Structure 1
Amino acid sequence: MASIKGGLRMFLASISVKNYRSIDDSGEVKVERLQAFVGENNAGKSNILRAIACFLSVGAGGVKLEDVRDPKLPIEIEASFAGLTDRERKELRRYLVGDRLTVKKELTLVRDDKADKWKLEVSYRGYMAEPKNWWLSIDKIIEMKGSKPKWEEIAHEVGIFDIAKNSNGKIDKKSYEAAISYIVTHNKDIEFDEPVLSDGKAMGIQQNLLRFLPEFFLLPAITDYADEIDRRSSSTVFRRLMAELSERMLTSDPRYGEIDEAVRKLNDLFNAAEDGGRLAVLQTVETALTENIADLMPSVSSVRLSVEMEQSRELFSRGVSLRVHDGVLTDVLDKGHGLQRSVVFGLLKMLISKSRSGEDGGNSDRPILLGIEEPELYIHPQSQRLIWRVLCGFSKNHQVVYTTHSPAMIDIGCYEGVAIVRKPTASVGTQIHQCDAGVLGSQEEKQGFKLLNSFKLQHNSMFFAREVILVEGEQDEIAIVATGRKLGLFEEFPEEIGWTVVSCDNKEQIPKFQKLLNAYGIPYSVWVELDGLPEDHKKNKTIIDLADGNTLAKMPKRMEDAAGLDAHFSDTFHCRTHFCDPGRITPQLEALVKTLFRTDILLEAAPIEPEGQAI
């Protein structure tokens, strides 16, 4: 398949998961090209990535018996893929519903009586459309001609004898099927019946479909990152990315053939037949070894030494070690976790640049779907945004899905690419909350919101909060935090109890944040200055109407009036110095802050859970 320079590739457009670990029924989860999953610890974010890994793997894909949530039901993972290239649409069009490819994978617990144990049985289902012309469908031919069709007669009848005959000049079912497959693939005028849900074996999913799907790389939040770089493993993300570099870049070098030739010569020296140039000393060793073993075991007549040779791709993926000079030149295994993880992101960045410039030599057969648990792990806070930009760049040609606890790793302006994961109770299981791109209305409104948030990351924090307080500006936030401290609601900041104060910059922007919070189902309170205007005034009414049952702490005029002041603070520093003295905080402010935090139910809130993995 030709490489697509700077273009879009097939990507995972949606996934639904049932009965897997903490997930009872996820519903349809839309997946963007850059998709973040955020949520508290143990909510089940990693289980979504592992479900994707299972779907895109052969067999059980690492799923264990204990991962089946209800043993009486199968694990169901249904995935839909979009963005198919012209060639993919051409070859897969009988499997498409509209412009998407949708496949379901099921893993069922069954009893293996012979082995006296339980095992997972894997099956696939998908949609398949039969050609309308009877002679282009094996099922329709059998229905019309009986269970033993005369393939040669049919080929003559419909005029495809020449392309249906095999190497012996005969026509059997296999050669006929190959012929009609070619016709269906290469003739865009073929008409199909409506797609119907079919058994995976009948569809040939393993042979026909899975090879087209994205290749999945999962970078887990592991504690010992040296394992990822270890030369002894070829299955880690680092080693697989090294292999990708070899496949996509090295093969484009004019001298790459010299490597293949050298590997072939080495293989001949060690493993060729006796007349193929094999080293004579190996025959000598084998003869002596045979004689010595035969003395002990007379039934042994010969011994053959076989030297395992790597292919050129494996030479690069497994044989390369990295030495990094950061003041001292040492192996990357001897460096810190942050540098080791940065090496992987460096490989990603290289793949991005080579793919965009076309230097991968047109060898990028499959798109890559990269899954990462907490990309910010081990990374200095000021470098986290750089990592996020690498992921953004990678998603231009491929796809990235990741979990995160860092506001630096998301963009509130692209809110459709952020999913909030919650687990209200163990019995309810993991729930995924998303937001459509059109929630803010017009494209102009969305662009304005994106611009508002383009100069700071603070607004991103609202996605990580249990509850949010919306205020106009920074001085309102100072007043609320100071009053909350005085009331003993928290020691230093509201985040201690799961709340985040979000400064919207001005009153006109508050409704945009409300729309987002409503869409995600995040509870919130609004600090509303009525500015001496009636509640049904347009600016006030919009905020009040959008609250939709959420809390409003309303001030008739301004925050300064509630603080017992006659005028605005001269600046933010003036505001801070005023509220540093708890004695200046008025009973009116205390009442407003109690309303904001709903102190009647605040004590019932669950504490923040420690880190761990949802099961």
Structure 2
Amino acid sequence: MYLKKLKIKNWQCIDETEIKFENLMLFIGQSNSGKSSIMSAIMFFLGYRNFRSKDIRDEEQPLIIEGRFYNYYNKTFHLKNIDVSNKNIWLKVEKNLEEEARYFVLVDNRWNRISEKEYITITESTPLLYIPSFSDREQSCFFINSLLNILESKKINRPETIDEMIDTFNKLQSDYVSRGLYRNLIFEIFRSLAIYSKKKKHSLLDNSLIIFEEPELYLHPQKEKELFENMCLLTKLGCQIYVTTHSSNFINLYMYKSICIVRKEESIGTKVFQFKGFLFSGDEVKNFNMNYWINPDRGELFFAKKVILVEGQTDKIVLGYLSKRLGIYKYDYSILECGSKSLIPQFIKLLNVFKIPYVAVYDKDNHFWRTPEEIENSKQKNKTIKNSVNKEIGTWVEFENDIEEEIYQENRERKNYKNKPFYALKTVTDSKYIIPKRLEIKIRKIFS
């Protein structure tokens, strides 16, 4: 079965939240935002993890986790008093601090109480593999044994390469082995699973769910990208993989429905933010994807506390330098070069749906040397940017007429715009350069 939806209430740092699942899920958030709490809730719900007293957020209230599975093979579960055979199967577990957990299945729009054994009979149809963020010898051994048990239960002949890796792992047991080497073995196992699944045209692990915390650890960027591609392949062929990550190499805009941003606020606890609708249409898809993924740094936006959208290189370089000079630069903010003014609204659209705070910084572009047609075109683009901004999430700052005129405090001739980033940075890094007050005000607003 495939987990499709989960409602979590009163679990650890989570007051109440809801998650809708794709086969591949990418959980992103600041450290201590609640990603691990979500993973532990999933494992508890699937019967993979025991309850601990600290799991309940408010001891006066019950813990409730409710989930929907897609019964892909239309399997019938014969329980003591009822048969469960729907395509969509709802399960629920409730737990008070001093009482035993209670288990339920939804049949004919009514919650029917079932035993823990009956509950496990259903959830074990979704085999689970867990890879924690720091995999030592014991944890790696548990993962490999769990993997072999799944392959054996499905009567699948495992690839020779996996046998070779297991032999290597066994030989390492008597020696000191770094966590990096254990992680590399797991990487090689994923590569082998992807290769053989592709040959078979279905996942060797079938519908198994793999929870993988911070897969980027101990891997260089090229291997991160390869591991992500293997994950994408396995999930397309039927496997389920849930990843917590701090790496933009595990982000793909084509799979925006898989992105789940996790945030925590003291008053409401941890919440997740997803978008399951249609993000772009028509030419927007082609233009935005080419612009977005040609520069991997742009993947940072999903991890940022705030995003500063700028038109081009000059803005990015100068704003970064001057904000540091003013002592207001923030490393958890990302300055994102959009490529042109025309594409800023598409980035705004993306940030709006994921509720990521932002400021759109753009040039007014009403230079004295521009034609009336160019000025009118610029006005329309500026208006589009302003109208795109959701004032509850973002704002905008306009340069007059661009950052060069702000820097030099003069009207610039068209011919003066050759090698803009170089000359702009050369000017502002001069020890005698004084930041104009008007520009300083705007920079402080941008980094507020």
TM-score bracket for this pair, using the shorter chain length: 0.7 to 0.9
Q: Give 1:455's aligned residue.
A: 294
**Could you tell me how far apart the structure 2 residues matched to 1:332 and 1:350 are?**
25
For 1:247-286, list aligned pairs within 5 A: 247=153, 251=157
Q: Deviations over 1:86-129 (max 9, x none)?
A: 543899997577x522211222233xxxxxxxxx512222221x
Report whether the alignment pairs 1:521 with 2:370.
no
**Change in CA separation of 1:401 and 1:207 when aligned onto 2, cut-off 3 Å:** closer
TM-score normalised to structure 2 length: 0.85
Report whether the alignment pairs 1:502 with 2:336.
yes
Q: Give 1:354's aligned residue.
A: 196
More RCO (CA 8 Å, sep 6+):
1
**Could you tell me how far apart the structure 1 residues matched to 2:229 and 2:181 are?**
17
Report whether the alignment pairs 1:78 with 2:66.
yes
1:62 pairs with one of 24, 31, 50 = 50
User: SS of 1:430's equivalent?
Assistant: strand
Report whether the alignment pairs 1:560 with 2:404.
yes
Q: Give 1:20's aligned residue.
A: 11
1:424 pairs with one of 265, 270, 281 = 265
**Could you tell me how far apart the structure 1 residues matched to 2:174 and 2:219 are?**
16
Deviates more, 1:508-517 or 1:585-594: 585-594
1:322 pairs with one of 168, 171, 175 = 168
Cα offset for 1:461? 0.5
Cα offset for 1:225? 1.5
Moved over 4 A (4+): 89-97, 202-205, 245-253, 329-333
User: SS of 1:322's equivalent?
Assistant: helix
**Could you tell me how far apart the structure 1 residues matched to 2:120 and 2:132 are?**
29
Q: Give 2:430's aligned residue.
A: 581
2:276 pairs with one of 423, 432, 436 = 436
Q: Give 1:402's aligned residue.
A: 243
More strand per residue: 1 or 2?
A: 2
Q: Which amino acid aligns with 1:18?
A: K
Report whether the alignment pairs 1:473 with 2:322.
no
Q: Give 2:208's aligned residue.
A: 368
Q: Deviations over 1:385-429 (max 9, x none)?
A: 22222222221221111111111222234322111111111x421
Quick one: percent identity of the two aligned structures?
A: 26
User: SS of 2:7's equivalent?
Assistant: strand
TM-score normalised to structure 1 length: 0.63
For 1:380-399, list aligned pairs within 5 A: 380-396=220-236, 397-399=238-240
User: SS of 1:36's equivalent?
Assistant: strand
Q: Give 2:187's aligned residue.
A: 345
Higher-Rg member (1/2): 1
**Change in CA separation of 1:89 and 1:540 when aligned onto 2, cut-off 3 Å:** farther
Retained in 2: the 8 A contact 1:217–1:237?
yes
**Change in CA separation of 1:331 and 1:571 when aligned onto 2, cut-off 3 Å:** farther
Retained in 1: the 8 A contact 2:75–2:85?
no
**Could you tell me how far apart the structure 1 residues matched to 2:304 and 2:208 are?**
32
Cα offset for 1:557? 2.0
Q: Give 1:294's aligned residue.
A: none
**Change in CA separation of 1:403 and 1:211 when aligned onto 2, cut-off 3 Å:** closer
Q: Which amino acid aligns with 1:12?
A: L
**Change in CA separation of 1:94 and 1:460 when aligned onto 2, cut-off 3 Å:** farther
The number of residues matched between the two structures is: 426
User: Structure 1: 5+ residue runs without aligned partners?
Assistant: 1-9, 111-119, 129-194, 231-235, 254-315, 599-615
Q: CA RMSD in A?
A: 3.3
Q: Give 2:133's aligned residue.
A: 221
Q: Give 1:310's aligned residue.
A: none
**Change in CA separation of 1:444 and 1:96 when aligned onto 2, cut-off 3 Å:** farther
**Change in CA separation of 1:451 and 1:209 when aligned onto 2, cut-off 3 Å:** same
Report whether the alignment pairs 1:126 with 2:105.
yes
Q: Which amino acid aligns with 1:562?
A: E
Q: Give 2:110's aligned residue.
A: 197
Q: Deviations over 1:351-383 (max 9, x none)?
A: 2333332399x986x611111111112222442
Retained in 1: the 8 A contact 2:104–2:119?
no
Q: Which amino acid aligns with 2:4?
A: A
Retained in 2: the 8 A contact 1:19–1:75?
yes
User: Structure 2: 5+ residue runs without aligned partners?
Assistant: 367-374
Retained in 2: the 8 A contact 1:449–1:512?
yes
**Could you tell me how far apart the structure 2 residues matched to 1:242 and 1:333 are?**
23
1:511 pairs with one of 332, 345, 354 = 345
Q: Which amino acid aligns with 2:147?
A: L
